[in-house]
Amino acid sequence: MSAIVSEPGRGRRFDTPDATPSTGPWQRRSRAICEMKGVGMLLHAFVPASRANGPGLRAVVYFQGCSLHCEKCWNPATHKFRGVEVPVHEVVQRFEEASRFGSLEGATFSGGEPMQQGEALLELMRTFRRTAPAVSLGMFTGYTESELACGRFVTRLSATVEQKCELWRAVRRRLDFAVMGRYDQTQPSIAPLRTSKNQRLVLFSSRYQEGDFETQLVEISIEESGKSVLTGFPVLGVPA
């Protein structure tokens, strides 16, 4: 899981964007798809452009909520399931707005634990695949592939084991890559995107090869408001 640190405003409630909605055809179509479903999600943060979370320039969606509570997790502020529920179409709108300022190769889902809001995750992925099929999709999850395949994971909305298995199959079909497994501070790793040696980088499509994933990076950006945002993989000498 890549780190996300935002100062000031850490631990705030999460409000919907105040930007004027775009009226472009891409945004109108994606919004219509999501509004029909009425799907919402707890969102911790949205990073519009990062090179530390997968190949190329990517937007990063940080889900709010994770019950795994890995010891020394880099993102403890993302653990509680709290905050304002954000409609999926507004997250899609943020991606569309971000893509105007640079060519985004894809989106990476992090957290928190994306699979614990699997219904919202799947709707995001479906919308991207319908409206921007060239976009690549990646995910950080604390679950192993076998846990997900067997439905051994928690979901925010009640679901049977069979429903969770089907949910994972639907997510899997739309993924290009995922980093899978709990963070284990006793097994530090410097492999691309992996913070501990037990984690696996799994390629679900032919789009990427192992060599496409670069050395761990850390990024610090300062927004117009003066707020600083750190994302990526903090190393010795860089505050986490």
pLDDT of the residue at 84: 83
| Cβ–Cβ under 8 Å, residues 61 and 44 | no
pLDDT band at 210 (very low <50, low <70, confident <90, very high): very high
What's the angle, vertex CA 224, arms to CA 218 and CA 229, rounded to 5?
A: 25
Mean pLDDT is lowest, of 25-29, 35-39, 172-176, for 25-29
pLDDT of the residue at 102: 78
CATH fold for the domain made of 3-232: TIM Barrel (3.20.20)
> Among 103, 84, 79, 95, which residue's Cα sits nearest to residue 1?
79
CA pair distance 100, 225, nearest whole angstrom: 20
Phi and psi of 170, rounded to 5°?
-70, -40
Q: What is the pLDDT of residues 42-84, one digit of tens each?
A: 999 999 999 999 999 999 999 999 999 999 888 899 999 998 8
Mean pLDDT, all residues of the chain: 83
Per the model's pLDDT, the better-predicted residue between 220 and 105 turns out to be 105
> Among 147, 155, 184, 185, which residue's Cα sits nearest to residue 66?
155
Per the model's pLDDT, the better-predicted residue between 10 and 227 turns out to be 227
pLDDT band at 95 (very low <50, low <70, confident <90, very high): very high
- For the segment 103-111, the average pLDDT, to the nearest whole number, is 95
pLDDT of the residue at 31: 45
The pTM of the full predicted model, rounded to 2 decimals, is: 0.81
pLDDT of the residue at 53: 94
For the chain, give every domain's residue range.
3-232
pLDDT of the residue at 229: 66
pLDDT of the residue at 217: 77
- For the segment 177-204, the average pLDDT, to the nearest whole number, is 95
Percentage of the chain surpassing pLDDT 70?
77
Residue 238 has pLDDT above 50, yes or no: no
Residue 190 has pLDDT above 50, yes or no: yes
- Where does residue 234 rank: exposed (0-12), middle (13-18), buried (19+ CB within 10 A)? middle
Per the model's pLDDT, the better-predicted residue between 118 and 15 turns out to be 118
| Cβ–Cβ under 8 Å, residues 38 and 85 | no
